[in-house]
Amino acid sequence: MTPGEMEKRIVRYGELKPCKTAFIDAHTPGSDRKENFTIIGAGVSESPDQHVHIRETPGFNIGAAGQPPKCRNSLHSHRTAEVFFVLRGRWRFFWGRWGDAGEVVLEEGDIFNIPTGIFRGFENIGTDYGMIMAILGGNDSGGGVIWAPQVLSDAKEHGLLLGENGTLYDSGKGQTLPEGVRPMPALDDDALKTFPEFTTAEVVPRFVARYLDMVALSDRQPARVIGPDGMLKDRPGFEVDFLTRGSIPDDFYVTDRHEIVMVVRGHWHFGWDGGETALAAGDTCAVPPDIKRRLAPSMSGEASLFRVRNTGDPAGSTDWL
């Protein structure tokens, strides 16, 4: 693979293209300043204006959310995995029908494998613009977002309507539902009863991994973060490892799986049997199978990254191992 071909598989943090109208709550006060990024795969954006950096998916999607302080993402649910790690800032994640069943605060580098089937939301509680990176299970990410009923009603009051086809329509721009397309129906009481209400004590020990704990476990070999034998035991259709300076392979290696490298901190040298380049914090690199590759920190100081690989497991509900 030539350097030019590989560069097309790298999404640089500074080149990310946001969409400010990606979801139904884009006009709702408190949620109207967020930005959505689709890095690998189309993700779950409901807007035709969403830019997709790399369309080819390896069995999962990679995305990101950027938000200024005090901006929140409204309560929603997914049918497949939604994994977040904090790249920049301080974030509060909350969950439950009304967002009051439990909560956790994540700092930079922390990762959260949110259980499928619960309503969840998140907000930037830091003092600066923050960024969280996301891994969504499945090539089609489970077919979209399931919104809490109050999110749909609030959005309608501010001019946005979600069609049953999964597309947003903005009355402020003169848009209406096309002929034959009905509004997305809100979940009724019977359907809402199927969404569990887990407490903080049930969720945090099982689904949250802290950055410093991953650093400690990666002093000699990659720390398995998500997987059947990982810190967070699950089979969401992918595995996640955490690498630092002390756990990188000594030489070139090959895998028959897709490998997505997501840099958390520091600068990394990435080489393959066709060229070399540098990766920095926030960069995402999609390495195809069967290519010799090597990673190494390119500067002194702290360096860390997450490595995501597809597995043969189907994307679906959380596997409570």
Q: H helices within the chain, ranges in order?
A: 3-7, 149-157, 189-192, 200-207, 211-217
pLDDT of 90-109, one tens digit each? Answer: 999 999 999 999 999 999 99
* HSE, side-chain direction, 13 A CA sphere, residue 180: 0
The topology under which CATH files domain 3-208 is Jelly Rolls (2.60.120)
Burial class (CB in 10 A: 0-12, 13-18, 19+), 151: buried
| Spatial separation of the C-alpha atoms in residues 87 and 263, rounded to whole Å | 9
Question: What pLDDT, on the 0 to 100 scale, is given for residue 250?
Answer: 81
Average pLDDT over residues 263-292: 97
Question: What pLDDT, on the 0 to 100 scale, is given for residue 320?
Answer: 84
Question: What pLDDT, on the 0 to 100 scale, is given for residue 5?
Answer: 96
Question: What pLDDT, on the 0 to 100 scale, is given for residue 141?
Answer: 83
How many C-beta neighbours within 10 Å does residue 256 have? Answer: 7
Does the 210-310 domain belong in CATH 2.60.120.10? Answer: yes
| Those residues with Cβ within 8 angstroms of residue 205's Cβ, 6 or more apart along the chain or in another chain | none
Average pLDDT over residues 183-189: 95
Give the residue extent of every domain in the chain. 3-208, 210-310
Question: What pLDDT, on the 0 to 100 scale, is given for residue 31?
Answer: 96
Question: What pLDDT, on the 0 to 100 scale, is given for residue 321?
Answer: 77
Question: What pLDDT, on the 0 to 100 scale, is given for residue 103?
Answer: 98
3-208 against 210-310: fold identical: yes
Question: What pLDDT, on the 0 to 100 scale, is given for residue 207?
Answer: 98
Q: How far is CA 145 from CA 39, 42, 117, 174, 268, in A?
A: 18, 13, 11, 24, 35
| pLDDT confidence tier of residue 290, bands split at 50, 70 and 90 | very high
Q: Are 221 and 247 in contact (CB under 8 A)?
A: yes
Q: What is the largest CA-CA distance in the chain?
A: 60
| Spatial separation of the C-alpha atoms in residues 125 and 148, rounded to whole Å | 22
| pLDDT confidence tier of residue 72, bands split at 50, 70 and 90 | very high
pLDDT of 124-150, one tens digit each? Answer: 999 999 999 999 999 988 778 999 999
Q: Residue type for 17, please?
A: K
| Mean pLDDT computed over every residue of the chain | 95
Structure token digits, residue 314: 């189907």
Question: What pLDDT, on the 0 to 100 scale, is given for residue 253?
Answer: 94
